[in-house]
Amino acid sequence: MNDPSLVEQLEQILEGHLDSSDGSHDLHHARRVLENASEMVKRAGAGNLRFLTAAAYLHDLVNVPKDSHERDQASRLSAEAARPILSELGFEADEIEAVHHMIIAHSFSAGVEPLTLEAQILQDADRLEALGALGIARTFYTAGKMSSQLFDGDDPFGNERELDDRRFAVDHFKVKLLGLAETMKTEAGREVAGERKEFMERFLEELAGEIGA
């Protein structure tokens, strides 16, 4: 069971760091990641929920824009920023290192292998946010913030051109999203990710039909 006092403290801390201009990494995102992680712990019958609670709320502590050349450093910056917070919350040195690794390894762009069960769970829990109906919504929300186009009108799905997901939102499905299910580390993550991937594929089929592609 989650520690209500720890959750309350972490929510207050996160609200003080949130970038109000980024609706895809708000307080509700952190809550959903924790909910995903809690379900994985329940199904696996293993995992330190205290560590996962802290990591869920602090994993995006430093927000680096998606189109920034420093995007791959976001998780490292967040992990470092989390150290003093975890210390103030009463985490011991070895516990801080455990959560630090979890935060670094959760990121797709960082390319760091999660070495603990908790790190694997956090990575899966966060990646589920990029799949399914929510993943579709976040994709187009982020594309709008980056001033990207919806798709290439001449070749919407990049069949005969190089994919460019900074320019075209729909390219992001092939560049990253449709491959996320294969990266899941936990059984629960793989199951849910597979279902959400199928939904995204149906969406793309519907889109193709509507635009005659």
Give the up-direction half-sphere exposure of residue 152: CA atoms within 13 A in the CB hemisphere. 16
- What is the tens place of the pLDDT at every residue in 160-208? 999 999 999 999 999 999 999 999 999 999 999 999 999 999 999 999 9
- At residue 162, φ and ψ (nearest 5 deg) are -75, 135
d(CA 190, CA 194): 6
For the chain, which domains are there?
A: 1-122 (1.10.3210.50), 131-213 (1.10.3210.50)
Check: CB of residue 22 under 8 Å from CB of residue 66.
no
Tokens of 73: 């450093």
Q: Give alpha helix (H) positions in the chain.
A: 4-15, 27-44, 49-58, 74-88, 93-105, 117-127, 132-145, 171-175, 187-211
Over residues 97-148, the pLDDT tens digits come to: 999 999 999 988 778 899 999 999 999 999 999 999 999 999 999 999 999 9
